[in-house]
Amino acid sequence: MVENKTSPSVEASLTALAVSLRGVTKVYDNGVVALGPLDLAVGKGEFVSLLGPSGCGKSTALRLVAGLSAASSGTVRVARHEGEVQIGHGIGFVFQEPTLMPWTSVRENVRLPLKLGGIPKAEGRARADAALASVGLADFADAFPRELSGGMKMRVSLARALVTDPDILLMDEPFAALDEITRFRLNNDLLALWRSLGKTVIFVTHSVFESVYLSQRVVIMTARPGRIQADIRIETVEPRGEEFRTSAAYSDYCRRVSAALAPSYSGQSTL
Amino acid sequence: MNAQAPVIAKPAGAQSVVRFVLPIIVFAAGLAAWELVVRIREIPPYVLPAPSVIFLTLIKDWAVLSQSLATTLLTTLEGFVAASIGGIALALLFNQSKWVEYSLFPYAVVLQVTPVIAIAPLLLIYLEQQTAVVVCAFIVAFFPVLSNTTLGLNSVDRNLAGLFQLYGASPPQILRFLKLPAALPYILGGLRIAGGLSLIGAVVAEIAAGTAGAGSGLAYRIAESGYRLNIPRMFAALLLLSLAGIVIYGVLAVVSHLVLRRWHESALGKES
């Protein structure tokens, strides 16, 4: 992962892979080809953004990795801990909406994956509280989702994805509905969490600026059916912070990513 | 985060007093006018009894009327419980299997659209009277529970369902932790309608049954008093039926509010 010139397939042989998609397509029942064929390799501990126009199948790709839907052809491989039964196959998923259960407390929402996995209540509550603390919501464990702001709900959703200690975190435009200030804060918090926890993150977004700011690699997809248009590695001094957001290198990367994205919006519209 | 309840109460305070006081004033004025008209024009009680006479009849005949009230309420309760359990159970069954739903749903609709007053005499032929009355209450009340529960079970958030799938939830877990809580507001809405309807079902069946004796309900008292031109007692029984309906609705509304008050939009004030 040090050499930036290596193509994903060479890189795959060098580093351990967390997720690998080979010739994956998704065709819906109504005949619409949503995705592919798509080849994507994500190394362990990598932060990769999938960027593309709406309807390009980025969310579909994420759902395929999560096992929430099945590929029409091709193979989806997800690395797992060996010899260990993992709750949720070692995957945490953050949806576009917070997707919280409104009828129960924040703590119970975060504890849900553990409850479904048969973890005893006391242990589950302790782990839920720890996960909430890691996203800065330790004081809100007893609150109900409706009592929280949009950003706080998203943090709860993140805590719930982290509570099983997954190896891979899949995020489907998680901050798209938030205001910019809240989004910047959550971007920084997410980066801090990623650095301290060392998880593999696949982050779907339609924001050029967000993808460049957050990820080590930005994978740009074409309009439907989604394929990979470009794979741009973002190299900068870690840890990133506000100074990166305002640096010349940042705007340079944004320009490159936007240029790679341009064919999708200069061509005929799919909307 | 603990401040939600008092915040709601304050601005609504003055308005809610008005909302209670106004109907009471209208009610009192109506009663006064009624009383006055009856007295001034000296209308005999077998044509139109004055409110005071109705009230006195209620006290005088309390022994008979209270027993009938208890009978009717028991029937209503049995019908309501049967409709709740039956409606929810059938909805769960429909939710588990489309085949069962397609096979049975049309008959549920047929049962719903056939006037119960027309079915009651038939039921009375084949069933014991008390059973027939409860079955009538059930038939009238179960459909709103069934259709609301079905709607609720089908209204589960798609992403939440995906989340449960991701974490390998078993079907019983999905039912208990996702579908039933998500459907709860709908189920409670259905029960609220069913409460009033089971009273109507019970009354209709009692009138159709028309048997006298110790075990006869309020509806029978109304019919019987009509034959005997005991109009004040008719009104008194009617009054009790209305009150019973209001209490049933009120109790179910309060239960629904208490269950949903922490999370559902319907139970929240405008402020929060």
Q: What average pLDDT does the segment A170-178 reach?
A: 89
Is the pLDDT confidence value at B146 over 80? yes
Residues of chain A found within 8 Å of residue B169, distances taken between Cβ atoms: 116
Q: Which two tokens stand for residue A203?
A: 């982050």
Q: Which segment of A96-100, A195-199, A221-225, B94-98 scores lowest on mean pLDDT?
A: A221-225
Q: What is the pTM of this model?
A: 0.80
Amino acid sitting at position A16: A
Task: Write B232-235 long-range contacts (CB < 8 A, 24+).
Answer: B232/B45, B232/B49, B232/B53, B232/B54, B232/B56, B232/B57, B233/B57, B233/B61, B233/B65, B235/B49, B235/B54, B235/B57
Flag whether residue A116 sits within 8 Å of chain B, measured between CB atoms.
yes
**Residues B42, B48, B52, B53: is their CA dihedral positive or negative?**
positive
Confidence bin at A112 (pLDDT 50/70/90)? very high
Please tell me which of the candidates A87, A104, A143 has its beta carbon nearest to residue B167.
A87
Tally of CB atoms within 10 A around B153: 22
Q: Do A145 and B169 touch (CB under 8 A)?
A: no
Q: For residue range B71-83, what is the model confidence (pLDDT) as tens digits?
A: 999 999 999 999 9
Q: For residue range B108-117, what is the model confidence (pLDDT) as tens digits?
A: 888 888 888 8
* Nearest one of B128, B139, B136 to B219, comparing CA atoms: B136
Q: Which residue of B has its CA nearest to A95?
A: B159
User: What span, in angstroms and rounded, lies between the C-alpha atoms of B270 and A235?
Assistant: 50
Give the 3-state DSSP-derived string for A15-46, with helices as H, strands as E and coil as C: CCEEEEEEEEEEECCCCCEEEEEEEEEEECCC
Q: What's the Rg (C-alpha) of chain A?
A: 18
DSSP H helical segments within A164-217, as ranges?
Answer: 180-197, 208-214
Q: Do B159 and A99 touch (CB under 8 A)?
A: yes
The complex's ipTM works out to: 0.82
Per-residue confidence (pLDDT) for residue A89, from 0 to 100: 56
Q: What average pLDDT does the segment A62-80 reach?
A: 83
DSSP H helical segments within A24-143, as ranges?
Answer: 58-66, 106-116, 121-134
Confidence bin at A106 (pLDDT 50/70/90)? very high
Is the pLDDT confidence value at A148 over 60? yes
Is the pLDDT confidence value at A65 over 50? yes
User: What span, in angstroms and rounded, lies between the C-alpha atoms of A223 and A269?
Assistant: 9
Contact A62, A172 (CB under 8 A): yes
